[in-house]
Amino acid sequence: MSPAAPLGAREQERANAAEFAAYAVGVVIPAYRVAERIERVVAGVPSWVRRIIVVDDASPDDTRARLERLKDPRLVVLAHERNLGVGAAMATGFARALEEGLDIVVKMDGDDQMDPARMPELLRPLIRHAADMTKGNRYADLVSLRAMPAARIVGNAGLTFLVKAASGYWSLFDPANGYLAIRADVLRSMDLHKLPRRYFFESGLLIKLGILRAVVQDVPLPARYGDEQSSLSIPRTLLGFPPRLFLGLLRRLFWRYLVYDFTALSLYLLLGVPALLGGIVYGSLLWWQLDGRGEYAHPGQVMLAAMPIILGAQLLLQAVALDIANTPKRPITPPLPPGGDPS
């Protein structure tokens, strides 16, 4: 290796330290079955990060023992007595981050797939008051896609549209990406213990942010894949996530367009859903009755079923268009002063 490479890395680290040292940035790492990698992950966290919070989610390996051997003064190790899932581990870590008075909290996984050198790219939109949360997007270029295992591409592709609809963040991709940074002020506005406990965490967090109308921004960040085995089951995800996403969609629409605000979109929903469902129910009952008697429907009966369906579908399509246009664009958190958040 040429001597210029490490010198450039050191210069970049000093530049990042000068840019971010004034802000209280912390990292939360949920740890479960990552004993072989957790020391490397902690060692890779940049020096200007003020606090590293690792939550041992009752890992059956020696993750806790390896963490206790580390001498990094920034490290705080929390432990669950039983395995509660990544979402519960993050809730524990987020709560501790708020106690530490951090300005920005970064989530990294303990499997060493998330490059800490790319962390500044997540932080800059938050510091510049362009977003309330940023997240990685592995779909940004062809190189990232080629590096991603095929099973993960299939799983993410199957969920992306559903998460977009449920959360209201129609421009986001890669919703399962767990490399994210979020303003502490946003976390203070949430009931952290109501976050989804397991692998629905990232999607559930986006739905909650959609209700709050926080600004979420994608940042192109390729992942690093090694020989680790993902514990996320693709079939379980494709079968288990859609019902929860549908309930999340209903919850977001209720709070955003019926409680916190009432717009033309609210009217489209209130008129379109009953019209569509009414037409489908009437048409189905009519077909069942006439088919049992061996009769055909009259034109008027057909129109009574078809018109509500057509009208309802048109109203709901217009509601979707307005929802896309209504994607949050103004951060809900106040700007961070140059010296960090005094609160």
* 118: CB partners within 8 A, 6+ apart: 136, 179, 221
Looking at residue 257, what DSSP letter applies? Answer: I
Partners of 217 in the β-ladder: 134
pLDDT average, residue stretch 235-242: 73
Give the pLDDT band (50/70/90) at residue 234: low
| Residue 162 CB partners (closer than 8 Å, separation 6+) | 241, 242, 245, 246
Measured CA to CA, the distance from residue 60 to residue 75 in angstroms comes to: 21
Task: Average the pLDDT over 323-332 and give the result.
Answer: 95
Q: Is the pLDDT of residue 232 over 70?
A: no
Query: CB 334: neighbour CB atoms within 10 A?
Result: 11
Predicted confidence at residue 297, as pLDDT, reads: 83
Does position 209 have pLDDT exceeding 50, yes or no? yes
Per-residue pLDDT band at 11 (split at 50, 70, 90): confident
User: Any idea which residue has 């502490």 for tokens?
Assistant: 184
CB 66 within 8 A of CB 39: yes
**Residue 174, amino acid:** D
Any idea what DSSP says for residue 61? Answer: S
289: left (phi over 0), alpha (psi -120 to 50) or beta: alpha
How does DSSP classify residue 141? Answer: S
Tell me the C-alpha distance between 104 and 180, whole Å: 10
For residue range 50-88, what is the model confidence (pLDDT) as tens digits?
999 999 999 999 999 999 899 899 999 999 999 999 999
Decide: helix, strand or coil at residue 287.
helix
Where does the pLDDT of residue 5 fall: very low under 50, low under 70, confident under 90, or very high at 90 and above?
very low
Structurally, at CATH architecture level, domain 4-249 sits in: Alpha-Beta Complex (3.90)
Mean pLDDT, all residues of the chain: 89
